[in-house]
Each structure stands twice: as C-alpha cells, then as structure tokens.
Amino acid sequence: MKLNLLIRHESYITFCHLENEAAFTCSADHTIRKWDVMTGQCLAIYRGHTSIVNRILVAKDYLFSGSYDRTARCWSVDKEKQIQEFRGHRNCVLTLAHYSSRDVLEEEEEEEEEEEKVSRDLLVTGSTDCTVKVWWVSSGRCYQTLLGHTGAVLCLILDAPNRELFSGSTDYTIRTWNIVTGEQLKVFKEHQGSVICLELVNRHLYSGSADRTVKCWLVDTGERIQTYKAHKHSVSTLKYHAGIYTNQNIEVIETTQRQDNFAKVMLA
C-alpha cells in the first residue's frame, strides 16, 4: 500500500477534513489546502487569513474556516476564491457548524428574512470570546449572538430537526440553545474540565472532556446517565458507531486520537 505524504504546508497542520476523495487541511501558515488523497497532489490553496487557521468545514460547495485572526471565512471550493468574511468576534474562532434555514424555519418565519432568501445557509461559530454567533452566509450578517458561556467555546453540534444547538466550553459546561430564538434551554454541569468534543445520537448527547471522561446525557431532561472512565489524559474526540453491537445488543462508543495515544472502546 502506497503512503502519500502531504508536505507542502509551511507550518504545522491544525485540522484535517476528508470529503470524498479530497482532504482539506488548515495550518499555522495561515492557509487552507486541498489535496488528492490518492496521489498526494496539492489541488488548491486558499489564502486570506492573517493568522493560524484553527478549523475548517466543507458543506455543499462551500469551504468554511475559522482563525486566530478573529474571523471566519467562506470560500468557493472549486474556484479557490473567498466568498464571504464573518467579522465580529473579539477573539479567535475555534469551532464551526453549518445548517440551512429550511431545516429549522417554517415558511412564515422565512418570509421575515427576505434579504437572505437568495441563500438560506447559516454558519455557526464558537470563539475564545465566550460567545456563539450565527451568521447568514450570503451577506455575512450576524443573525444572533448566544451569550451564557464564561469560557472559550470549543465545540458545537446541531440538531436541526429539533432546532437545537449544543456548545461545549472551557467553563466545564455544555449549553443547549434554541437555534431560531437564541434562547438558552439547559446547562449540563457535571464535567470537571473543559468540554472538548460532542456527539449526538438519538437524543443522547455524548461529551468528551479534559477531565479524562466521556459522559452520556439525556437531551430532553439534562440528566447524566453514564460516565465512561478509562483515559489517562484529555478526551479530544469521540465517535458513536450505531451499527456495532454485541450479542446483547450493546451500544458502543469509540474514542480516538487521545493524548495517551490509544483509542478506547467503551460499552454503553
């Protein structure tokens, strides 16, 4: 098996996103690059950020990025061209999410946003300034700012059918928001360290933390129903595998890319 090394960034890589047969990487060299995963060839370079690019997200024909330069940006994947800049955070942008207003708004609610009808896409950003912001992609206008966290917002996950957004923070909490009204719905408080990653499956919310645990919560009540303790260091990412079962039909959580260099499989 041939291993292709992607070596053209001029500084360290902060994040990688795989999309079909392409890999997108962002770096401390202020750029984003698109690669052919089969050949290792660099297919495109997206330039415009003026500091470290922390996170990228590919949705439809858009590439979104967040940076230490306090902005998020939207790019045309094919044209290597910046389409929009989202400016308003007071500190670096750490995490991104994307959705369409068609997924959360009724027709009568959409009519109130006539200027955005050309594009119904929205971008959600979380920042070190303790806020979450929601932006119209077409205009770059901030639709709403969600206030409540007292620490940097590290992770976001959306439940569009239920109009809910979940955010995890260095303030040790997870917060649930109504994505339409901006109302804070619940606060999950049992972690003893920063909440680094989130996964949502069937109204169960899984959270990984710097306290070295993964917790499972009932979204509807906010009750914590399980804590998984196995890692020696922070849990930096996790993945739910819905199709893996034992002969007792046990759900499985797999956590990967830990600082202790091991993946753990945990039984729910």
Residues 44-82 pLDDT 10s: 999 999 999 999 999 988 999 999 999 999 999 998 899
Confidence (pTM): 0.84
Residue 107, SS3?
Answer: helix
SS (H, E, C) 188-230: ECCCCCCEEEEEEECCEEEEEECCCEEEEEECCCCCEEEEEEC
* Residue 244 backbone dihedrals phi, psi, to 5 degrees: -100, 125
Q: What is the model's pLDDT at position 125?
A: 98
Residues 158-168 pLDDT 10s: 998 899 999 99
Q: What is the CATH number of domain 199-268?
A: 2.40.10
Q: Which amino acid is at 31?
A: T
Decide if 53 contacts 32 (C-beta within 8 A). yes
Q: What is the model's pLDDT at position 103?
A: 75
